[in-house]
Amino acid sequence: DIQMTQSPSSLSASVGDRVTITCRASQNISNYLNWYQQKPGKAPKLLIYAGSTLQSGVPSRFSGSGSGTDFPLTINSLQPEDFTTYYCQQSYRAPWTFGQGTKVEIK
């Protein structure tokens, strides 16, 4: 199975900050990388797919990039509603696997 590792596991930031979360795959997954946001008690929500394509309705302050094994997710100008948990997921080869999650907390 392809292992996905996110870093950091958590981070503290302030409203207006720019933050970057990184996802690393255990092997080359081309751009088959998706990002989800999950708020407490809710289902995950798709933010970005195919490494860098913003899902419809997602604010443009979210951006993804990368190809191969390393994929950064950047949130520009953090808003209060962005303080929550983010997961990456590879869709290159089944079984689809997720990173362990990154919790973005308010400093």
Partner 1 sequence: QVQLVESGGGLVKPGGSLRLSCAASGFTFSDYYMTWIRQAPGKGLEWVSYISSSGSNIYYADSVKGRFTISRDNAKNSLYLQMNSLRAEDTAVYYCARENPAAAGMIDYWGQGTLVTVSS
Residue that the structure tokens 């997921």 belong to: 89
- List the 62-64 sheet strands across, edge first: 4-7, 19-25, 70-75, 62-64
Select from 100, 105, 106, 107 the one that contacts partner 1 (CB under 8 A): 100
| Comparison of 28 and 77: residue with beta carbon closer to partner 1 | 28
Closest separation between CB of residue 4 and partner 1, Å?
10
Select from 5, 22, 69, 98 the one that contacts partner 1 (CB under 8 A): 98
Closest separation between CB of residue 25 and partner 1, Å?
13
- Find the binding residues for partner 1 in span 16-75 (CB under 8 A): 32, 34, 36, 38, 42-46, 49-50, 55
Burial class (CB in 10 A: 0-12, 13-18, 19+), 95: exposed
Cα–Cα distances in Å, from 2 out to 20, 49, 55, 87, 102? 22, 17, 24, 15, 19
In the complex, which residues of this chain contact partner 1 (CB under 8 A)? 1, 32, 34, 36, 38, 42-46, 49-50, 55, 87, 89-92, 94-101
